[in-house]
Structure 1
Amino acid sequence: MKKTVYLFLSILLLSLYGCIRSEDNIVEVTNPTPISTKKGTVSGKVMAKNGIKPIGGALVFTFDSQNKLYHTYSNSAGDFTLEAPEGPRKIHIQTGDGSNFRSEFTITVPKTDNVVASANLTKLNQVANMAYVKGSYDEIEDIVTGLGYLVTEIDYNDLKVMSTLSQYDVIFLNCGSRGQSHSGTSTPNNDTEVYDNLATFVSNGGSLYASDWDVAYLLGGNNNTPACNTSGGFIPDALMCSTSTGSATTYTNCAVSNVNLANALGFNTLDIQYDLGSWQKIISYDVAFWEVLVQRNNEALMVRTNKFHSTGAPAMPVGNSANSGWVTICHDDNGTPVTITVNQSDLQAHLTHGDSVGSCTGVSTSGNIYYTTFHNHATGNIGNTAPILQYVILNL
C-alpha cells in the first residue's frame, strides 16, 4: 500500500514540475531558445540611369549587425525581392564587382512585411570613368549613352599616353578603330607603347572591351589579326589564337553558356548575324584563362577573363577618383563566395568576418577583359546581341 501511495505522489509531482504559478497565470517552463531575427522584404526594379531600361543580373544586398549577408539578384525584367532584417537597412545594388556601377539607399524594412523601394532609389549609378576609341564598324558608345551613362571619346594615339589611360576605369575598343588614322603609324603591331600601356592598365584594375577586328589590340596585328602568333599584342599567344577567316553568315541557335548571363538576359539561345566578311574567328583558347559566355557548338563567340596580370607592369592608381575609399572584396557567405565592393571604413569588419581583399576569382588587382566576335553596327542590325552588349557594359 505504501508503495502505491508513493508512486501516486511521484506522478503528481512530476506532472506539476513542468508548470509554475506566476501571480494568476500558469507558465509552462521550457528550455530557453534564442530569439530569431525578425525579417521582412524589400522589393523594387533595378533600372539604368535613363529610367527606361531594366537591368537584369544586378546584385542586391544588405547586412545585419553581425555582418551576415542577405542578397538576391534582379531578374531579366529588373525585378527583385530581398529578404532582410527588420529596421533601417542600407541596401546596395551593384553590377560586375561593384567598382564601376553601384547604388545604395537606406530604407526601413518592416517586420514580416514588404516595402517597395521607389524607382528613383533603384537606378543604377555610374561610378566609372569610361572612354571609347571610335571604330569603323562598331558604335558601342551609342549603347552606353542610350542607357543614360557617360563615355568620353579618345583616339588611338591617346592609348600611347599612360597618364591619359589611367584616368579611366573602362575603355571600349570598337571594331575597326585600328583602321583609323594613326598619325603616321602604318604598322600598329609595332606599337609597343600601346601594348605596354594596355597591359599596365588591366594589371592595375582597368577593364577593356574589344570586338571583332580589335582583337588585334590583344593578340597583335595591324587592322586585324590574320593568323595565330601574329607579332604585337599584350596577351601571350599561347592563351588565344584568332584569325580573320569568318565569312558573312548567320549563326543560329547560339548558346548563352554562362548561367548568370542567361538569367540576366532572360534567354539562353540566340541567332547572331555576321554580315561582314573576314570577321575574327576564335580558333583556340586556354580554358583556364578564358571563360566562354556565348558559343555555337564548340566555337567560342564571346569570352572574358580577369586573370591577366603583367609582372613587369608598374603599380599605379587607375580610374575615377570617386572609387577612392572603396575596396573590392570576396565576401564569405556561409562558404559561398560573393564579390562585392564596400566602403573602406567597413573593410576591417569584413576581414574579421573572414572576407578577403580582391575578386573571388582571378588576380585581385586585375580588371576584366571582354572580347566578342560580334558587335553592334551603325545600321542597328544587332538583334539579341544588344542586351548582351548592355550586360558587358555594366559588368566590365
Structure 2
Amino acid sequence: MKKSISLLFALILIVACSKDKPDGEASGDYSISGKFVTPNGLDAVSKANVKLFKDDVLVKEAFTDSEGKFTLSELAKDDYELTISKGAFRTSTMVTLADLIDALTLDLDSIPISELPSIAVVTGSWDHIEDVLYNIGLVDPVTQEPLFDIIDGYDVSDRNSNHNHHRENATANRNNPFLQPNVDFGFGDFIESPALLANYDIIFLNCGLNESKTDYSNNLTDYVNNGGLLYATDWAYTYLNDITVGGNQYMSFYDPYKSGSSLSTDAQILNEDLIDWIALNFNIQIPNGTVTIDEFLGGWQVVDTYDQATVLPWLYGPVEYDGISEDKHLAYTFLHGDGGVLYSSFHTENNTTDATTVERLMQYMVFELADMKVPVE
C-alpha cells in the first residue's frame, strides 16, 4: 500500500510540474539572437516585441534592449516563425534550427523592418519630419520615392492655384526633391474628410502648416479616438485644442500663444531607455541625462499645464517665455480612446542632411508613438 501511495504521489508531482510549462513552449539547448533595426538597416529599435511561433503556437516571447538586440533561449531544433514588431512597424521571417551542427546559437544579425504602417505627413514651413522618416529608410530602394504620403500643408482650397506659390522658406530648406507633396489632395480636403483621415495609421502635422482649418479639428479627435496616431509639433498645437477640450483635458497651451523665446536649452531626458538608446547607438554624450535642444522656432508654443495621470512627459528644461524664466516639459504623449498623440514644442532641424541629436530624439518618440496602440492581429 505504501509503495502504491508513493507511486501515486510521484505521478501527481510529475503531472503538476508539467503544467508549470506553458503550452507550446520549446525546450532545448539552442538559441536565436538578432538585432531589430529601421528599414535602412542601421538604427536600432528598442523595446520591440519579439515572438517565436511553432505551428501558430507562441513558444517564446521577449523585447529588444536599448541596442535593438534580443535572444530567445532553451529552444529545440525545429522550424519556427519569428515576428518582431514596434506597433505597426514589423517584420516576419521563418527560422530553422535543424541545420545547426556545432553552434548552439543562430545569430540572425540585423533584421530590418519590412512592413510599415500607412503614414501621412502634412508639410509645414518650419518642421520637416518627412526628412527623419526618409532617412531611417521609409523609402523605395529602387525609385527612392518615400513610402508615405506627403500632403501640402498650405493647400486648403484650390489645389491647382495654391500648390506651389507658398512656402518660400520651406522650399529653400528642403534639399530632397522626392519630399514634395505626392498625393492629389491638399490639407483642406484631408482634414475635412473623415474617410481620408481613416486611411492612415499615423498622421504627422508639421509646424508651419496652414492654421485656418481648426473648425475641422474634431475630425482629428475622432480619428485618434478610433485608433489613429497623431504627431503634432509647435504651432500645429492649434489642431489639438479640440482633443484637449480647450485645455481642460490632457494639456493646456500657454496664453499669450507662441510666446516662447528660448532658442536652446539643456533638457533632462525623463526616460532611461531613451538615454541608453541615444548614447549606445549614436555615441551621443548624455551628461547627467541631459541633451541640448536647439530647434525652437522664435515664438514657439509653450505647454502651460498637463494632466500627470494621463500624459507622459519626455523632456524637461529651463526656458524663457513671455518674460518668464522657468523649467518646462517640452514633449508629451497621451492616449485618447483607441489611439494616441505626440506633441512637442520643438521640432526637426531644417538646414542639414545629417541626423542631429534633436532628430534622434524625434526618431525615438515616433516609434514610441507607433507603439502606443498595437494593431489587431
Asked whether the equivalents of residues 43 and 81 of structure 1 are also in contact (C-alpha less than 8 Å), the reply is yes
State the one-letter code of the partner of 1:246.
Answer: G
Asked whether the equivalents of residues 376 and 382 of structure 1 are also in contact (C-alpha less than 8 Å), the reply is no
Matched, 1:148 2:133: no
Q: For residues 242 and 148 of structure 1, what CA distance do their matches in structure 2 show?
A: 34
Q: For residues 113 and 355 of structure 2, what CA distance do their matches in structure 1 show?
A: 24
1:166 aligns with 198
Query: How far apart are residue 216 of structure 1 and its match?
Result: 1.0
Pick the aligned partner of 2:272 from 243, 259, 262: 259
Asked whether the equivalents of residues 70 and 84 of structure 1 are also in contact (C-alpha less than 8 Å), the reply is no
Query: How far apart are residue 109 of structure 1 and its match?
Result: 4.1
Secondary structure of the residue aligned to 2:85 is strand
State the one-letter code of the partner of 2:346.
Answer: F
From the superposition, tell whether residues 178 and 39 of structure 1 become closer, same or farther in structure 2 (CA, over 3 Å).
farther
Asked whether the equivalents of residues 249 and 274 of structure 1 are also in contact (C-alpha less than 8 Å), the reply is yes
1:329 aligns with none
Matched, 1:367 2:339: yes
1:197 aligns with 219
Query: How far apart are residue 246 of structure 1 and its match?
Result: 1.3
> CA offsets, 1:87-121, max 9 Å, x none?
322222111xx3x21111121347992101154xx
2:243 aligns with 234
Q: For residues 114 and 56 of structure 2, what CA distance do their matches in structure 1 show?
A: 28
Asked whether the equivalents of residues 43 and 116 of structure 1 are also in contact (C-alpha less than 8 Å), the reply is yes
Matched, 1:379 2:351: yes
Asked whether the equivalents of residues 257 and 294 of structure 1 are also in contact (C-alpha less than 8 Å), the reply is yes
From the superposition, tell whether residues 48 and 270 of structure 1 become closer, same or farther in structure 2 (CA, over 3 Å).
same
Matched, 1:47 2:33: no
Matched, 1:124 2:113: yes
Q: For residues 49 and 244 of structure 2, what CA distance do their matches in structure 1 show?
A: 30
1:90 aligns with 81
Pick the aligned partner of 1:212 from 225, 234, 237: 234
Aligned length: 282
1:286 aligns with 307
Q: For residues 296 and 310 of structure 2, what CA distance do their matches in structure 1 show?
A: 29
Please report the RMSD computed on the Cα atoms of aligned residues, expressed in angstroms. 2.9
From the superposition, tell whether residues 118 and 169 of structure 1 become closer, same or farther in structure 2 (CA, over 3 Å).
same
From the superposition, tell whether residues 82 and 265 of structure 1 become closer, same or farther in structure 2 (CA, over 3 Å).
farther
Q: For residues 165 and 303 of structure 1, what CA distance do their matches in structure 2 show?
A: 22
From the superposition, tell whether residues 285 and 79 of structure 1 become closer, same or farther in structure 2 (CA, over 3 Å).
same
Asked whether the equivalents of residues 75 and 263 of structure 1 are also in contact (C-alpha less than 8 Å), the reply is no
Q: For residues 300 and 162 of structure 1, what CA distance do their matches in structure 2 show?
A: 32
From the superposition, tell whether residues 69 and 136 of structure 1 become closer, same or farther in structure 2 (CA, over 3 Å).
farther
Q: For residues 89 and 355 of structure 2, what CA distance do their matches in structure 1 show?
A: 24
Question: TM-score, normalised on structure 2?
Answer: 0.67
Query: How far apart are residue 242 of structure 1 and its match?
Result: 1.7
Matched, 1:245 2:259: yes
Question: TM-score, normalised on structure 1?
Answer: 0.64
State the one-letter code of the partner of 1:389.
Answer: M
> CA offsets, 1:117-139, max 9 Å, x none?
154xx111233110111101001
Query: How far apart are residue 234 of structure 1 and its match?
Result: 2.8
From the superposition, tell whether residues 276 and 66 of structure 1 become closer, same or farther in structure 2 (CA, over 3 Å).
closer
Pick the aligned partner of 1:277 from 287, 291, 298: 298
Q: For residues 389 and 123 of structure 1, what CA distance do their matches in structure 2 show?
A: 19
Q: For residues 207 and 365 of structure 2, what CA distance do their matches in structure 1 show?
A: 15
Give the percent of matched residue pairs that are identical in Structure 1 and Structure 2.
26
Pick the aligned partner of 1:101 from 89, 100, 118: 89
Q: For residues 211 and 84 of structure 1, what CA distance do their matches in structure 2 show?
A: 45
Q: What runs of 5+ residues in structure 1 fail to find an aligned partner?
A: 1-16, 18-29, 180-186, 220-232, 310-365
Query: How far apart are residue 167 of structure 1 and its match?
Result: 1.0
Matched, 1:299 2:328: yes
2:178 aligns with none
State the one-letter code of the partner of 2:64.
Answer: S
Q: For residues 140 and 153 of structure 1, what CA distance do their matches in structure 2 show?
A: 11
2:70 aligns with 80
Query: How far apart are residue 276 of structure 1 and its match?
Result: 2.6
Q: What runs of 5+ residues in structure 2 fail to find an aligned partner?
A: 4-9, 22-26, 139-146, 152-185, 280-285, 319-326, 371-377
Query: How far apart are residue 68 of structure 1 and its match?
Result: 6.2
Secondary structure of the residue aligned to 1:279 is coil
Asked whether the equivalents of residues 261 and 300 of structure 2 are also in contact (C-alpha less than 8 Å), the reply is yes
Pick the aligned partner of 2:104 from 113, 118, 123: 113
